Amino acid sequence: MLINIITLFPEMFAGVLQQSILGRARQGNYVEIHLKDLREFGIGSHKVVDDAPFGGGGGMILKPEPIAAALEDLGQAGHVIITTPRGKHFQHPDAVRLSRMKAITIICGHYEGIDERITELFADEELSIGDYVLTGGEIPAMVIADAVTRLIPGVLGKDTLETGDSHYKGMLEHPHYTRPREFRGIVVPEVLLSGNHEEIRIWRKKMAFQKTRSVRPDMLLRENDFDTDNLDREEE
């Protein structure tokens, strides 16, 4: 898979792309991640990439010409995404969908935004990682790249993908414990020490449901494979 990232600050990605899952995925040739420095396509001797908005108002707007030139300079742009606070919330199903594409390009928004003509002419979708405003779209681009890359076949082992990570099945993840069996007065639940895999599976499913109901009840309104009625009865 190919992931292009168009950004004013490519140096921000250096550590992230070299470490952990992203680093190993790149070394294993499961994913190519290309950084495109938007400043290289700036206008004039000063490489200008922004200008004041028509109609007045504070802040600056990223000009359309440099972004269009950067996109057209890519060998393969694929599915084009703009990171912006006004975009649709990026969620696990989006990561799954994007991981199945051959190529995606993420345009990192900055300043007060991007000239709307880029959205109209080039963008396939706008994505946001939450209801807040960041300095720029670089961190959201890192989030999207990480979430997508770990879903590419071969990047993670099959067992890891099926352990019930949060959002994989429409629920948050169950609690985890490791040694020691007791820490500061809190003891590991006895069921996890029983060796009974079916009881452990049921316990984990029940705990995932309880955590989701407590922290993210909105997720229970979505279609998932949990029998919430039975889980409620088991608690009584």
Measure the CA dihedral 17/18/22/27, to 10°. Answer: 120
Which listed CATH number (3.30.70.20, 3.40.640.10, 3.40.1280.10, 3.30.70.1140) goes with 2-149? 3.40.1280.10
Instruction: Classify 164-235 by CATH class.
Output: mainly alpha
Q: How far is CA 188 from the centre of its chain?
A: 32
CA distance 88 to 126: 6
> What pLDDT is recorded for position 63?
97
Q: Where are the domains of the chain?
A: 2-149, 164-235
CA distance 55 to 60: 12
CA distance 58 to 199: 60
Averages of pLDDT over runs of 10 residues in the chain (236 residues) are 98 94 95 98 97 92 98 96 95 96 96 94 97 95 97 80 57 93 96 96 95 91 56 51
> What pLDDT is recorded for position 224?
52
CA distance 75 to 82: 18
> What pLDDT is recorded for position 235?
47
Structure tokens that stand for 196 in this block: 């009974």
pTM of the model: 0.85
CA distance 61 to 64: 9
Rg (CA), the chain: 22
What phi-psi label fits residue 69: left (phi over 0), alpha (psi between -120 and 50 degrees) or beta? Answer: alpha
Residues catalogued as catalytic: 85, 112, 150, 165
> What pLDDT is recorded for position 168?
61
Number of C-beta neighbours around residue 152 at 10 A? 17
| Preceding amide of 180 cis, omega within 30 | yes
CA distance 76 to 150: 21
* Element holding 88 (H helix, E strand): strand 79-89
Listed in sequence order, the DSSP H helices in the chain are 14-18, 20-27, 64-73, 92-99, 116-121, 138-149, 158-161, 197-215, 228-235
